[in-house]
Every structure is written in C-alpha cells, then in structure tokens.
Amino acid sequence: MAFGHRYTGLIDRYRDRLPVHDDTRIISLGEGNTPLIRLNNIPRELDYDVELYVKFEGLNPTGSFKDRGMTMAVTKAVEEGSKAIICASTGNTSAAAAAYAARAGITAFVVIPDGKIAMGKLAQAMMHGSVVIQIEGNFDDGMRLVKEVANTSPVTLVNSVNPFRLQGQKTAAFEIVEELGRAPDFHCLPVGNAGNITAHWIGYSELAAHTGEHVTEACTFCRGHCRYAGGGVAGQRPRMVGYQASGSAPFLRGAMVDAPETVATAIRIGHPQSWDVAWKVREESGGWFDECADEEILAAQKLLAEKEGVFCEPASAASVAGALRDIRDRKIPEGSSVVCTLTGHGLKDPDAAIAQASREPIKVRAELEAVTRAIHENME
C-alpha cells in the first residue's frame, strides 16, 4: 500500500456503489475492512476438507457489524437535516446508533429491553450520551413502539427497516469477494431480524451482475465505473445459510414467536423485520435456515476462543455452531469454501463469557514459590 493512504471507512471505499452524492458529509468512524480469518485448528479436527473462514465483524469501531449500516443511516439522516435518530435494539444497534450520533453531533434515542441486554452494549449506549429508554418488554415490543414514534415525532428511524442500513451492510460481501477472488460456496450467518443475511445477498447479487460481459453503459448501478467493470470476479453467488437460536427461531417455526428466549440476547427476536425478503434470499440462493440450541452456541463460542484465538459474542457463534454441524452432516459438501460471519465482539457480553469459562483464575500469595507451583501444576 502507498504511504500516506488513510482508510476512511466503507462509504469512501465503495462510494460508487452506495447512494451518496459527491458533496455528502460522511459520518464515519473508519468502519468496515474487517479481517477474513481462515480457521486452522478447528478444521484440522474435522475428517474432511473444507476451507473455513470467519469474517470478524466484531472488529468494527463499536464492536459489531451494525457500524456498516449505521454509517450510511446516520450520513443520510444528517443529509436530510435530521437532528435526532431512534432505534429499538437488543444492544448492538443501540451502541452503533449512540456512537454515530455522537460523531454527527445529533441525539440518539435508544429503546432497549429491560435487563436483557449485554453489559458492554449498555455501557456503550450510556457512554456515548444517548438517551436510553428501557422498556418492560422485549425487542419486538420496542420495534413496534419506535415505528409509531418515528411516524409522529421528528426523529429518524435507524433500524434495518431504514433502507440505507442494508446498503451499508452489503459492503461486507464486497470485501469477502475481493479477498477470496470469488464468492464463497456457502455464507453462514446468525439471524435475528434477517437484515444482515439480506444485505449480504444484495451485495453478492450486485457483484454477480457486474462481471464479464454484463457491464454496459445501461447499467444503473455503477454506470461502468466500478472496479468490477470488465469482469475478473466470478459471477457466482453463495448459498446463504441462516442460523437461529432454538428459543427464538421464527424461520424454523414458519411463524412469528411471541416470547423468544435465548442466551444469545442479540438475536432474541421473535418478529423479524425482514421476514418476506429473507425467505426470498433462501429460495434464490438455494440455502436454508436451521436452529442451534443455546448449549451448541456457547460451545462454538468457546471453541473459537480456545482453538483459534477469536472471541465473538454468543449470537455470532451461532454461525459457526450451525456450519460445523452442517459440515459434519455433509450438508455442506467436501471441498467447499465457507464464510461464517462473526457479527459481534466477545467483549460485548463479559457475563456470558465468565459464566462458561473453562477454568477459574488461580488465587495464590504474591510469592515466587506460590506462582512457580501454580505454573508447574498447570503445565500441559
């Protein structure tokens, strides 16, 4: 890379494929450009060959993929003259909304379920100076309320029903194809509202439509300007696979779930906002939905942390829990390339991590002999 090049976030990077004008004031914290990490140790223990990657979205500025959508949503809200944004959230959307509102100098109102939000996320919303409204209800109740409020008060709704959110989030698919040189065979994600799986499908589909001979002057998407003009990237798209927590799995039940429960509070969502379109993604991509028990999700979270050095939050681990099961069951065939999105950082939810840690800290006196003994007793 040339000296003096500063990464300034995904809107600048993908400006030619996002709905912004040349003179739009960009509200960015340098989001995107997250690492695609090839797993080594976990696949070695499987008895057949897969290329398994995790896209670590927990390394975004506020620790989750929500920053990709929020840079777009807040940029557009400011462009339209809005002075306040509002969202309902299981935690990560509120953390991102709070941070980007702070950056823009506007107010964020965040509506969260009382008690059922991970500590790190609450800390973020409070620290960034947003107005935190805790409701005696779950995310779905909050969603219903903020939609009504946004209709009657001068606040911009920045949940994923705001179309700019998915536009920002689609850029994760661009990054993956750029790095791999092609789309993966399978892309696995945790599913709550199903906004992210939909956004990825939009991204992959836009790229696939922009390969080889397809690009013409008539193309309304890039007008022939994008870096994919002329081809070079295979026009293929992955099968999209969405995993839900068993206690909040409306896509598995085929109907809304009224009292969702799961340890993965980020996806404790019973009434997904992108319901119809997510079914279309499954159908068009030839993918599927499946569910993971809380124990499976936590086991995958720990496996990633202990075997690969990657610490994601519980909800994120649903993608790996499900993918590993589908690999073992041969639903994902040998030789496939598989990308799992790790949507949020493990530090978001320290309580969940400590509750399932393999070993307690060893308490000893502050003396050489005691520390030496602790080391010798625990040498592997």
Residue 287 gets the label, from left (phi > 0), alpha (psi -120 to 50) or beta, of beta
Of 175, 185, 308, 313, the one binding ligand AN7 (CB under 6 A) is 313
Each residue 338-357 as x (binds ligand AN7 by CB under 6 A) or -, in order, gives -----xx-------------
The nearest distance, CB 324 to ligand AN7, in angstroms, is: 17
CB nearer ligand AN7, residue 110 or residue 226: 110
- Minimum distance, C-beta of residue 264 to ligand AN7, in the bound complex (Å): 8
Q: Which is nearer to ligand AN7, 211 or 341 (CB)?
A: 341
* Residue 375, both tokens: 């080391």
- Quick check: helix, strand or coil at residue 3? coil
Distance between CA atoms of residues 38 and 91, nearest Å = 28
Task: Give the residue ranges of DSSP H helices in 33-107.
Answer: 41-44, 66-79, 92-104
Chain centroid offset of residue 88 CA: 16
Least distance (Å) from ligand AN7 to the CB of residue 87?
A: 7
Of 72, 266, 305, 323, which one interacts with ligand AN7 (CB under 6 A)?
266
Residue 315 binds to ligand AN7 (criterion: CB under 6 A):
yes
Position among 28, 34, 124, 193 found at the interface with ligand AN7 (CB under 6 A): 193
Of residues 135, 134, 132, 142, the one with CA closest to residue 192 = 142
CB of 292 to ligand AN7, least distance (A): 12
Size of the residue set binding ligand AN7 (CB under 6 A)? 22
Question: Is residue 191 part of the contact set for ligand AN7 (CB under 6 A)?
Answer: yes
Q: d(Cα 141, Cα 135) in Å, to the nearest integer?
A: 8
Residues 53-82, interacting with ligand AN7 (CB under 6 A): 64, 66
**What's the Cα-to-Cα distance from 37 to each of 41, 55, 335, rounded to whole Å?**
12, 6, 18
Q: Which is nearer to ligand AN7, 210 or 268 (CB)?
A: 268
Least distance from ligand AN7 to the Cβ atom of residue 267, Å: 5
Residues 83-102 that bind ligand AN7 (CB under 6 A): 89-93
| Interactions with ligand AN7, residue window 147-166 (CB under 6 A) | 160
Helix (H) or strand (E) run with residue 299 in it:
helix 294-303
Q: Which of 34, 75, 316, 337 binds ligand AN7 (CB under 6 A)?
A: 316
DSSP state of 254: T
Site for ligand AN7 in 4-63 (CB under 6 A): none
CA distance 273 to 37: 30
Let me know if 118 is exposed, middle or buried by CB neighbors in 10 A (0-12, 13-18, 19+).
buried
Nearer to ligand AN7, 190 or 203 (CB): 190
Least Å distance, CB 198 to ligand AN7, is 8
Per CB under 6 A, the segment of 9-17, 280-288, 308-316, 370-378 that binds ligand AN7 is 308-316
Query: Helix 92-104 to helix 119-127 angle, to the nearest 10 degrees?
Result: 20
User: What's the min distance (Å) between Cβ of 249 and ligand AN7?
Assistant: 12
Between the CA of residue 63 and those of 109, 120, 274, 358, what are the distances in Å? 19, 10, 23, 24
219 by Cβ neighbours in 10 Å (0-12 / 13-18 / 19+) ranks as middle
- Whose Cβ is closer to ligand AN7: residue 156's or residue 211's? 156
Cβ–Cβ < 8 Å for 101, 73: no
CB under 6 A: which stretch of 35-43, 73-81, 233-241, 309-317 binds ligand AN7?
309-317
Distance CA 65, CA 173 (A): 12
Indicate whether 110 belongs to the interface with ligand AN7 (CB under 6 A).
no
Minimal distance in Å, beta carbon 379 to ligand AN7?
36
Residue ranges binding ligand AN7 (CB under 6 A): 64, 66, 89-93, 160, 190-196, 266-267, 313, 315-316, 343-344
